[in-house]
Structure 1
């Protein structure tokens, strides 16, 4: 006899997955510490280790038709290309990679479902640069007939040198400053260029509603701003962080594959996010603006 799934069990499973990521992240640092035991003596390899943990988490939780890799995006029509992306989620059934080498790929923009930058520690001083580079990926992958990719910045921990209050204030203010400035360019900004998630796995989430509600259209002018919210530790914060990543990618997959019904997620009761700003947008998505950038890295 079939039984109704217990929502609390699903929440517990995702909570445990995120806790496992936190428990495992520092293994490399403990095996290969620097001289004063404050961080790894091999920062590059530690970076690959922390990226691999998030990548494997996504592989376990996304449709098997999607691939999770590292690599580059190349628009063969315009000659525009991205920098190397820590985690690149693409759909080879839409367009096979142009090149595969080891665990890395070079893919076309139309195959990209998501791009994630991974850091061990989320710090305010590097945030603006990371956000602008991710935004450039959204601009490169923009298409008039399909939602833009899911863009996220994920850190394992908040800056330990700042109090929680100061950390949140610095991250929130920097985020709004970056995207307000981008929205004030002559060409303004599309929703597909806005980073949807900034996450610290030990207890912080910033969420922008970059993906329009289903049925509102991709290129319509039904909304003028993208609201931004944030939240901190709570009864279900680990679960919320896991769902933020999986749902952000899954919703785009299901939007592109309407024959596949998207799943529902357990409620986030007790995990309220606070509104704090909104980013003005020109449209939901649009083709990349490549006239002055042919043959160069995606514009920032």
Structure 2
């Protein structure tokens, strides 16, 4: 099997990403603990670093942003009023939103911080400098809520558009339970969060530390039956020459949503909202054809 060039290329890129962060630690060290002096800036630097690396390799129509998803209860498409009995809904602030701004509009933008409608969301990532045991469930729950907010169409589940790729990404990890393998620790938290009635797309696709390991969700077969209607989570421990796998998996997950055939039928998003104010007709002019 070939592909060695790409494996070597992505391995160098991941090592470069991790090395750039270590330079940040070197220039602004914490005198008492590992990491940089200011923990808040430490985390934001990792987030900015990952965003910059992702942006380099994604199609130009995809922007790597941060901010909120707003799903307004307004008319969609030509005259779709399926949200008319709902309420406006928004997410908490999300570390990374991969957004198709080549196709869909944005409500508000302040540099890279945005408020966007759900139709253009391709992926949502939570980013941690160091992934800790106590953070996994809360972060996965925030991603679950973001995925549910992105459920834009009201057709049957089999005909819905594929949901965004979800990931919890770190550059280091410190999982507290030393008596239990990290993969079991992570999986138990996912089991607690996702019940038997879960939607596959709402379940996180990647949890991992780019410097050494990750848990990922395998796609189900094309034909779903009662016997294979399960989300299979897999675990990979990485050697130094295998660090490319985590970053490649994230890129593949983003692109698999972007190019998925269920997302090819572009429909007008819910973007405007008029008050119920009657308008009076002032006249009529005949035309010969619609187009």
TM-score above 0.5, yes or no: yes
Distance change >3 Å, CA 257–CA 94, structure 1 → 2: farther
2:237 corresponds to 1:243: no
Structure 2 stretches lacking a partner, 5+ long: 74-86, 154-159, 265-291
Q: How does 1:143-182 map to 2 (within 5 A)?
A: 143-144=152-153, 145-159=160-174, 166-180=181-195
2:257 corresponds to 1:252: yes
The higher radius of gyration belongs to: 2
Say if 1:197 and 1:205, in contact at 8 Å, map to a contact too: yes
Q: Distance in 2 between matches of 1:141 and 1:84?
A: 14
Q: Tell me by how many angstroms 1:256 deviates.
A: 4.6
Distance change >3 Å, CA 148–CA 163, structure 1 → 2: same
2:83 corresponds to 1:87: no
1:106 corresponding residue in structure 2: 115
TM-score by length of 2: 0.76
Deviation above 6 Å: which 4+ runs of structure 1?
Answer: none
2:48 corresponding residue in structure 1: 52
1:36 is matched with which residue: 25, 29, 32? 32
Q: Tell me by how many angstroms 1:51 deviates.
A: 0.6
Q: Distance in 1 between matches of 2:33 and 2:60?
A: 39
Q: How does 1:207-286 map to 2 (within 5 A)?
A: 207-209=216-218, 211-212=219-220, 224-234=229-239, 237-256=242-261
Q: Distance in 2 between matches of 1:64 and 1:121?
A: 30
Say if 2:70 and 2:117, in contact at 8 Å, map to a contact too: yes
TM-score by length of 1: 0.74
Structure 1 stretches lacking a partner, 5+ long: 1-5, 260-300
Q: Distance in 2 between matches of 1:221 and 1:143?
A: 26
**Cα deviation 1:101-140 (Å, max 9, x = unaligned):** 1221111011100000110111111111111111111111
Aligned residues: 245
